[in-house]
Amino acid sequence: MRSRILLLFLLFWSLVLSTANEPLSTGIAVGMAAALTGFLATYQNVLYYFHECCRQEWISYNNTALEIDMKKKLFGQHIASRVIIKAVTGFMNNKNPKKPLVLSLHGWTGTGKNFVSQLLAENIYKEGMASSYVHQFVSTTHFPHPSEINTYKSQLQQWIKGNVTLCPRSMFIFDEMDKMHAGLIDSIKPYMDYYDNLDGISYRQAIFIFLSNAGGENITRVVLDFWSAGRDREEIQLKDLEAALSLEVFNNKRSGFWHTSLIDKNLVDFFVPFLPLEFSHVRKCVLAEMEARDLTPDEEIASQVAKEMTYFPKPENVFSVKGCKTIASKLDYFN
């Protein structure tokens, strides 16, 4: 559809330009201009096909595609996959949500938190992470100096207010919450609360996602207990982790969530644990990376790459220290 409209547009315009400079063809040019005007009137939304805007053509949630992506590309995260799909699907299908969707993803490096954020963006926004309506903040990059916290608060408030004004269905991703200065995130608490609007702006359709390594020790302890008892990690449920996870993050002075009103006022909809990855999961990550590169999956190479990773705790060596984070570079070595 977009290519057809573009072709017609260029055809009309080229005809207008080619005839406009000929005195005897002025009438033709005027006629062509009128035809072009009529064409654009018929397709009054033609520009929306070529420039991203806050409309359904560019923002449309694909539940089926997200489920497929989670199943084929995310490994060892049965809790996160199930909770996130249900939470996002319910929120996106709700025509009148009472508040924005707020998710807090927790776990060690390389377990899939950033990756899931990317999958969500790709299955909601046509442009994915490159969308003008997806905004990512990294604490150590965007908020590095403790002495500037008041400036950061003001800037963050204005950024969120301005972007939600432009598009109510905006997504905000905050990475490295465990490195954020305490108190900063409370400056945007009103935007995640149960308000119809603030100063005439409704934030109810926005999505806020927080990523943090905080809580990783508690998550690992629970998973290791299951492993030691000979129980399948798939038996672990959200209720086994969520309450303790939120409490640990709330009381962690080194976390951006320390004594935050977001937790105190129950504004975080789900604390989502990302479990530490085992050898079998790392192998699947390698095979998935091969497929993404259009390489023929090689089980032997996948095993070799997985064995190159460092595992903990000693002497069990059950979980990958870096999860799947360095898989791409290690696969380069074997190719």
The Cα 195–Cα 267 span in angstroms is 12
Is 112 annotated among the ligand-binding residues?
A: yes
The Cα 111–Cα 122 span in angstroms is 19
Indicate the DSSP class of residue 210. Answer: E
The Cα 276–Cα 322 span in angstroms is 9
Is 108 annotated among the ligand-binding residues?
A: yes
Report the DSSP beta bridge partners of residue 134.
Answer: 171
Is 114 annotated among the ligand-binding residues?
A: yes
Is 96 annotated among the ligand-binding residues?
A: no
Is 151 annotated among the ligand-binding residues?
A: no
Indicate the DSSP class of residue 1. Answer: -
Residue from 133, 116, 165 nearest 56 by CA:
133
The Cα 134–Cα 142 span in angstroms is 16
Judged by DSSP in three states, 298 sits in coil
Cα-based distances in Å from 136 to 66, 139, 162, 171, 176: 20, 10, 15, 8, 11
Provide the annotated binding site for ATP: 107-114
Provide the annotated binding site: 107-114
